[in-house]
Structure 1
């Protein structure tokens, strides 16, 4: 029976909105990552059978199939195709799931999965400037004209009794963990320094080393006058890219590659699209059942910090040990470049697993429309 393994995983440092990466076209940004992935793996580019990339706002600079254009910009053989997909914030996590499934099915022997998003150049919500995305039947079913993730984050905080102070403490810890990991060199083996018109970026740009609970407490609520969600306990708008090389154990051996982790199990779940952000809870239960594992079997979790209330509610419902959740910080500290975040989280996680000899890791993230992916990988390169 064929398996699917990750043999290499790289990512850019995450750039702040309008920061160092703002003048670099997302196609060029992705091409730098593709070249770095292939060079670090030490393979001939011609053996790549496809590039599957996530990208959420596929308009303007990110239209016309970013994945294929990145292949061409990277100078890879024209024989290498590319496809771009959108499952909202989980797009590049879904890219990995599709890559793994296709490798296991025998459709590919070696494929790249990843994602890119330049939120500086293609702002959040750009696609909604043309037409009406929800359609009359969706609006009628839920008796609303639009769906707000921020309002969903507020609803989660109310439902799970999460005070502003607790949310801000979580946000502060995210920055502290990211700062500690950065200073310890935890990301050194995965980062691809990026040079563009704005200079060279070699470390995640969003970490606020001087933030405090007092500073967070001074920020104005973003979605409700008496709300608890604000810019400081929400993910940062960012630019970034990540990619993973996926193949079978057999093909890896033929090419002299050393797998990091095996794709163990994957699941996707849907939940209430109004609250929108709770689906990681059923997705986690689903993937654990499919894997035949318990929450205590998992040594590290990457739960995307879209808003602090999301991973906090997830922790309460799953019973996951807090110290194992986002040990390197998360999107509150370093940013959330939508279509790239799934691949970024997986890249962070598999390197962390290898560095610390952790057998199982679980990644999950909330997605617009009330969905979530959940993925379990198993360490092979101990």
Structure 2
């Protein structure tokens, strides 16, 4: 089996809900990052076999955002593109699909990643197409309807986190301390310029001209006292709050996935090698535990143990969810989300899987570590994991 490599790994800054990127759509965000990873690779257009992007909240985006982004990036119309939806893992699943295409011999070079503009998700008028004979027309928020509610259990994803709280006996204080540490690590990483090599600016156009958005705006300088005062967000007498859960955000991220043959033939400079990927499924009611079986499967496929993992990016959908996952995995706390996670940086759901991988690639190289894990839980009760080796 040939080796498969990550050659470029970039992301946009992450915008707050209704913040700096509120007038920049998901396609434009994707176009920005797809174009940049392609240009930095110096690959000629005919070398690209496909563009694969994750995106969850597609209402109003028109058909196949990946295809739109590819063409707007200047990639020839002869290059196919596909958009996939695997909830919060969409961006990472796009990358693992690229990996599988290359292993199967169907592709040599694939641009893959994810994009989401949660600020631009519309409201929907239900039952309008065939007429509402009596009563009021009902509108629903597509953000909640298609993204934040479990289609199977019929309740908000936050309740699945509360279910893990009960199962794993996780306290409110544990969650708030975890959330605070995420914010503190992100502040420190930003101050030290750690995100600069992975972030590309986004041009924001207005009637006054264009400005460049260059850094994550979601990070908050908070403290434990403030976090402890927040009310439960999803359940009376619950412990999951707006402060210890991820937020609503905008952003995009992408990588170039290349075969060993392509790396040699096109003189590419790989950043990391993909050791293994895996998907799993669990009960939708405890969807947040999905990374556990996915990671265990990925470790087996890579012939590794959890002790071999030197850095880990576990997507912070909820503090309780990451805490529950690590009660099962047993990773050292000091190697998890060393630059903060989605609670601090934000969680643009279709982008996040690619974002955590981009961050992991750069941090492995910065610390001169080798083996890294990126993993996410998935609404509906799933998990996706990838193990990489820095080169």
Q: 1:200 deviation in Å?
A: 2.3
How far off is 1:197 after superposition? Answer: 3.0
- After TM superposition, give the deviation of residue 260 of structure 1 in Å: 0.8
Cα deviation, 1:323-368, whole Å, max 9, x if unaligned, reads 0011110000010000110000000001111111111101111101
Checking the alignment, whether the CA contact within 8 Å between 2:45 and 2:76 is kept in structure 1 is: yes
2:195: which partner in 1?
A: 187
Local SS of the residue matching 2:103: helix
User: How far is the alpha carbon of 1:53 from its aligned partner?
Assistant: 0.3
TM-score by length of 2: 0.91
Please provide the CA RMSD for this pair.
1.7
Map 1:66-77 to 2 at 5 A: 66-77=65-76
Match of 2:64 in 1: 65
Counterpart contact for 2:150–2:157, Cα < 8 Å: no
Give the Cα separation in 2 of the matches to 1:352 and 1:178: 13
User: C-alpha distance in 2, partners of 1:276/1:28?
Assistant: 31
Classify the secondary structure of the residue corresponding to 1:266: strand
Helix, strand or coil at the partner of 1:205: coil
CA contact 2:220–2:344 (8 Å) conserved in 1: yes
Q: Distance in 2 between matches of 1:153 and 1:220?
A: 15
Aligned partners of 2:122 and 2:371: how far apart in 1?
36
1:235 aligned residue: 246
Which blocks of at least 5 consecutive residues in structure 1 are unaligned? 139-143
Q: Is residue 121–residue 143 contact of structure 2 (8 Å, CA) maintained in 1?
A: no
Corresponding residue number in structure 2 for 1:208 = 220
- Note the C-alpha offset of 1:75: 2.4
Quick check: 1:331 aligned with 2:355? no
Using a 3 Å threshold, how does the CA distance of structure 1 residues 162 and 23 change in structure 2: closer, same or farther?
same
C-alpha spacing 1:212/1:180, structure 2 compared with 1 (3 Å): same
Residue number in structure 1 paired with 2:331: 320
Displacement after TM superposition at 1:39 (Å): 1.6
Post-superposition offset of 1:148: 2.7
Instruction: Report whether the alignment pairs 1:22 with 2:34.
Output: no
Q: Does the 8 A contact of 2:183 with 2:220 survive in 1?
A: yes
Question: Is 1:126 matched up with 2:125?
Answer: no
1:291 alignment partner in structure 2: 302
- Equivalent residue for 1:35? 35
In structure 2, C-alpha distance between the alignment counterparts of 1:127 and 1:148, rounded to whole Å: 11
**Cα shift at 1:155:** 1.3
CA deviation vs aligned residue, 1:11-58 (integer Å, no higher than 9, x gap): 001100101111012211111111111121122233211100000112
Where in structure 2 are the equivalents of 1:89-104 lying within 5 Å? 89-104=88-103
TM-score, length-scaled by structure 1 = 0.93
Secondary structure in 2 matching 1:120: helix
Q: Deviations over 1:179-203 (max 9, x none)?
A: 1111111111111111113642211
Q: 1:129 to 1:319 in 2, by over 3 A?
A: closer
Alpha-carbon distance in 1 for matches of 2:143, 2:167: 31
Q: Tell whether 2:185 aligns with 1:169.
A: no
Quick check: 1:20–1:200 contact (8 Å CA) kept in 2?
no
Aligned to 1:141: none
Q: CA deviation at 1:134?
A: 8.4
| Residues 349, 27 of structure 1: alpha-carbon distance in 2 compared, 3 angstrom cutoff | same
